[in-house]
């Protein structure tokens, strides 16, 4: 039986860590022909060994000029995934911090999506944007991050309508907590890790507001992204898969 991603050319941003890395590993194992892996972490990107043909692109997804040099010919799938976390109440949030988060999470996603849709024009393909449950449920302190992810959910819908005529499907996934290094940048989490250890800190966070009582593993989210990319979801477009353990209920 043919593998789901046999000989497919696939772009993944934020591929050197967390969810992006788990997707890259899964798609490599499922027959991908060429992975185009974008990340700004040179050491982590250089260390990747996935056993398939890879094109590594070191750069910032929010840098418009970077995309001019990325060869996306023959692109079949794209995972628009690079993102950063950041928190702070609106009243005290620096404009520079707002811009920093919107720049990577929204501008970077737009530039990635545009490049992918240009490469897929006339030949079709499928795209998944990594949004977040924070883009659906309002919580204090997540204005910048939450708005960037709410925008991605809408961007997926607009892109789905625009791409449909070309056979391009575009969907989003909205996880709540996922056990990845992105949390290390959250001071409250780093403090708890120092006090009680990483696993217990994740368990404590999940217990606060996740009915199913735990955060996701990156590999679980990767499986769901692969489903949305694959021909198994051939009639699904413009949707957001809420993969949040019930957090938004």
- What minimum distance in Å lies between the beta carbon of 238 and ligand NAD? 19
Could you tell me the smallest distance in angstroms from the CB atom of residue 194 to ligand NAD?
19
Spatial contact of 238 and 161, defined as CB atoms under 8 Å apart: yes
The whole-angstrom separation of Cα 132 and Cα 143 is 13
Kindly tell me which residue out of 14, 86, 238, 245 binds ligand NAD, with binding defined by CB under 6 A: 14
State the minimum distance, in angstroms, from the CB of residue 63 to ligand NAD: 8
Minimum CB distance to ligand NAD smaller for 121 or for 198? 198
Of 7 and 185, nearer to ligand NAD (C-beta) is 185
d(CA 159, CA 2): 29
Query: Is residue 170 within the footprint of ligand NAD (CB under 6 A)?
Result: no
Segment interacting with ligand NAD, rule: CB under 6 A, options 33-41, 112-120, 190-198, 204-212: 33-41
- Dihedral of CA 50/221/178/116: which sign? positive
Contact track, ligand NAD, 176-205, x by CB under 6 A:
-xx-xxx-----------------------
Binding residue for ligand NAD, selected from 4, 31, 41, 193, defined by CB under 6 A: 41
Pairing of strands 9-13, 240-243: unpaired
Q: Is 145 a catalytic residue?
A: yes
Angle of CA points 234, 235, 241, to nearest 5°: 90
Number of residues counted as binding ligand NAD (CB under 6 A): 29
Catalytic residue among 67, 110, 145, 202: 145
Q: Is residue 112 at the binding interface for ligand NAD, with CB under 6 A as the rule?
A: no
Report the residue number, 17 or 121, with the smaller CB distance to ligand NAD.
17
Active-site annotation, residues = 145
* Residues lying near ligand NAD in the complex (CB under 6 A): 13-14, 16-20, 38-41, 44, 60-62, 81-84, 104, 108, 130, 132, 175, 177-178, 180-182
């Amino acid at each position: 039986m043919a593998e789901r991603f046999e000989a497919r050319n696939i772009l993944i941003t934020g591929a050197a860590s967390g969810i992006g890395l788990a997707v890259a590993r899964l798609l490599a194992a499922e027959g991908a022909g060429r992975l185009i892996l974008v990340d700004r972490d040179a050491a982590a990107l250089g260390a990747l060994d996935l056993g398939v043909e890879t094109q590594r692109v070191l750069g910032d997804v929010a840098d418009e000029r970077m995309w001019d040099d990325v060869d996306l010919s023959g692109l079949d799938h794209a995972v628009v995934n690079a993102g950063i976390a950041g928190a702070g109440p609106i009243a005290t949030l620096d404009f520079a911090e707002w811009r920093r988060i919107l720049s990577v999470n929204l501008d970077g996603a737009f530039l990635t999506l545009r490049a992918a849709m240009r490469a897929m024009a006339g030949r079709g393909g499928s795209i998944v944007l990594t949004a977040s449950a924070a883009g659906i449920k309002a919580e204090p302190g997540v204005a910048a991050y939450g708005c960037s992810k709410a925008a991605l959910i809408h961007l997926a819908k607009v892109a789905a309508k625009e791409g449909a005529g070309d056979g391009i499907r575009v969907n989003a996934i909205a996880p709540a907590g996922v056990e990845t290094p992105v949390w290390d940048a959250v001071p409250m989490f780093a403090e708890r890790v120092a006090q009680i250890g990483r696993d217990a800190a994740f368990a404590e966070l999940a217990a606060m507001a996740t009915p199913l009582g735990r955060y996701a593993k990156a590999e679980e989210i990767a499986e769901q992204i692969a489903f949305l990319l694959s021909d198994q979801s051939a009639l699904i477009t413009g949707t957001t898969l809420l993969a949040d353990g019930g957090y938004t209920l």
